[in-house]
Structure 1
């Protein structure tokens, strides 16, 4: 079985696992009958994982049908993975801080899958995936657009319903504007760092060796890729 076929099946399997985890997390939250559970779709983690499910399903079908991912899919994967991985990091820090402060934070298996296991697996998959394209650097600033829009909407909506998905966005739970700005800046910096890491991994020479020569077409290869190809041909000659 070809590597791309195996990887396509793995993508579809990961999409299924993520969907099951999201459904369980929604059911588990609704059973608690709290305002947080009623705002399931307001969490950045859940929104980004829903996008992750859809994109993985599409990526899995493409991997089964094509020898290489189109450029738009690689860029979309880089963006969504930046959001899901960062959400996992932030959640881990919040759980750790809650334990330090004696605050109980329940973490069901679905939360563990969404915040820890899937992000870890996707990082490994990103490094080893056959058929990926090089990711342009403009993905890094674009990555910040979604959390900024989400944050602005959350700050507008929070006072109306008296609830915020994350404590550092709630004026009642921070010491003042300085703490709010500090936490927000740190979160945005993590988004940018994760996106930068994904771009760097996509440009590693060992990563590009997975790409099938038959899958390359001049319309989808960046100038840097063409230069690499010319150098390789020259060396072989």
Structure 2
């Protein structure tokens, strides 16, 4: 198996794992009878308001495109690839350090949780480390990728008072107030920036190591 074939296989597998997790999560949510949203449409629509879900969707789409062609040079793909990579890394870190013990899940909910919070981050990060693509993390790409968490935070805080719902405790203004929530958002933003700069530095090292002598 060539490196290109291995890369396409890995990206395709990652996209399929995320798709399975998303389908399972939507099925479980649509069948739930308890929770803040009382209609199926409301519950399913709310699923797509979670940072975890949006990060996984970006990962799924970019990995599917890379499975078709691992050498895509598009700036747009580089931006979304980085946004998905960093978003899913933050998802894994925050979930396993802060959120994992908040709920006890069973059945399909536990399966979706494992696929979207554990398998997806592991496959995505490993795939980037091994297969790249390399050499595309420029400062302009970082700036454009950073729009993803910024837009999500603005949308979440603007939507919260209208639906009386916040997807994560650390952005719940009803519990913490705006000062604490904004501070929490700054921490997330700093984490995103640190990870982005770290990814850029590591990418440059990996480019030098794989460059022909």
TM range (shorter): 0.7 to 0.9
Kindly indicate whether the alpha-carbon contact (under 8 Å) linking 1:69 and 1:133 is maintained by their aligned counterparts in 2. no
Other-structure match for 2:192? 191
Other-structure match for 2:103? 104
Displacement of 1:115 in angstroms is 1.4
List gaps (5 residues or longer) in structure 2.
38-42
1:160 to 159, 162, 187: 162
Quick one: distance in 1 between partners of 2:133 and 2:47? 35
Report SS of the residue matched to 1:172.
helix
Mark the structure with the bigger radius of gyration: 1
Other-structure match for 1:70? 73
Quick one: distance in 2 between partners of 1:44 and 1:193? 18
What pairs with 1:46-125 in structure 2 (closer than 5 Å)? 46-63=53-70, 68-72=71-75, 73-95=77-99, 99=101, 103-106=102-105, 108-125=110-127
Kindly indicate whether the alpha-carbon contact (under 8 Å) linking 1:131 and 1:210 is maintained by their aligned counterparts in 2. no
TM-aligned CA distance change 1:74 to 1:208, over 3 Å: farther
Report SS of the residue matched to 1:173.
helix
Quick one: distance in 2 between partners of 1:3 and 1:139? 26
Quick one: distance in 1 between partners of 2:132 and 2:208? 8
Runs of 4+ in 1 over 6 A off after TM superposition: none
Report SS of the residue matched to 1:165.
coil
Scaled by the length of structure 2, the TM-score of the pair is 0.83
Kindly indicate whether the alpha-carbon contact (under 8 Å) linking 1:128 and 1:207 is maintained by their aligned counterparts in 2. no
Displacement of 1:194 in angstroms is 1.8
Count residues in correspondence.
202
Displacement of 1:46 in angstroms is 0.6
Question: What value does the CA root-mean-square deviation take over the aligned residues?
Answer: 2.3
TM-aligned CA distance change 1:74 to 1:122, over 3 Å: same
Quick one: distance in 2 between partners of 1:11 and 1:126? 9
Other-structure match for 2:40? none
Displacement of 1:137 in angstroms is 2.5
Other-structure match for 1:8? 8
TM-aligned CA distance change 1:51 to 1:164, over 3 Å: same
Quick one: distance in 1 between partners of 2:94 and 2:167? 12
TM-aligned CA distance change 1:131 to 1:143, over 3 Å: closer
Displacement of 1:207 in angstroms is 4.1
